[in-house]
Amino acid sequence: MKGLLIPILFALGTAMCWGMYAPALGNARSTVKPPHPDFWSPFKPYVFIGVAYLVIAIAGGLIAMKLKGDTFSYDGAHAAARNWGFIAGILGAAGAFFLTNAVISSKGNTALVMPIVFGGAVSVNAIFAYSQLRNSVNISPVLWVGMAFVVVGVVLVAKNTPHGAPSKPAAQTPEAQESVSTTTATREGGADSPNTISDKA
């Protein structure tokens, strides 16, 4: 268990970052509607998502390669790192693109989107591993039970996660305020008030 502590911590860090991805993206949405001049499309933040990918992936990758004593060559035997790394980058960027669209089309309902993303990713990974290893290892049927639990978990989390800002009391128009004031005055001193009836009696 001691040897698994570091990878578990890194995995938790990934979950935290990806779990906050959609809420951060929700904060990047425009607060006005077109044709307001301050409106921006949902894909304006997506450009800077790409910038962040470039900065962290390229700068971080180069620094980590240097610390590990790696070379900066991507030719020959190192071509697989280039080719599959590019494919993985496409998948990551496409995933971010799909997630952006999911958050937009769900009107910011990340409680629905994120459980599907994480639960679905685990299931896709398991299915791919099964397709690659089914002829060489024994696949436990518990795998399918676990995937069923993932689906149930996604539904439960999506259904019970609180979302949305607390409702604010509607602001009253001047006409409504005047109506309330008139009604109050009538009740306090008008002809139909208890005091007036008592005086007449």
Match 């006005």 to its residue by tokens.
Answer: 32
Cβ atoms within 10 Å, residue 23: 13
- The alpha carbons of the chain give a radius of gyration, in whole angstroms, of 29
Inter-CA distances, 9 with 5, 12, 67, 117, Å: 6, 5, 21, 20
pLDDT at 63 exceeding the cut of 90: yes
- Average pLDDT over every residue of 128-154: 84
Predicted local distance difference test score (pLDDT) of residue 117: 85
Band the pLDDT of 2: cuts 50, 70, 90.
Answer: low
Predicted local distance difference test score (pLDDT) of residue 61: 92
Sign of CA dihedral 91, 97, 103, 105: negative
**Where are the domains positioned within the chain?**
20-27+40-108, 109-161
Predicted local distance difference test score (pLDDT) of residue 146: 86
Band the pLDDT of 165: cuts 50, 70, 90.
Answer: low
Q: Whole-prediction pTM value?
A: 0.64
Q: Tell me the one-letter amino acid at 54.
A: L
**DSSP letters of the chain?**
-GGGHHHHHHHHHHHHHHHTHHHHHHHTS-SS-TTSTT---TTHHHHHHHHHHHIIIIIHHHHHHHHTT-----SGGGHHHHHHHHHHHHHHHHHHHHHHHHHHHTTT-HHHHHHHHHHHHHHHHHHHHHHHHTTTSPPPTHHHHHHHHHHHHHHHHHHH---SPPPPPPPPPHHHHHHHHHHHHHHHHSTTSHHHHHHH-
Band the pLDDT of 131: cuts 50, 70, 90.
Answer: confident
Cβ atoms within 10 Å, residue 40: 14
Which of 21-25, 58-62, 90-94 has the least mean pLDDT?
21-25
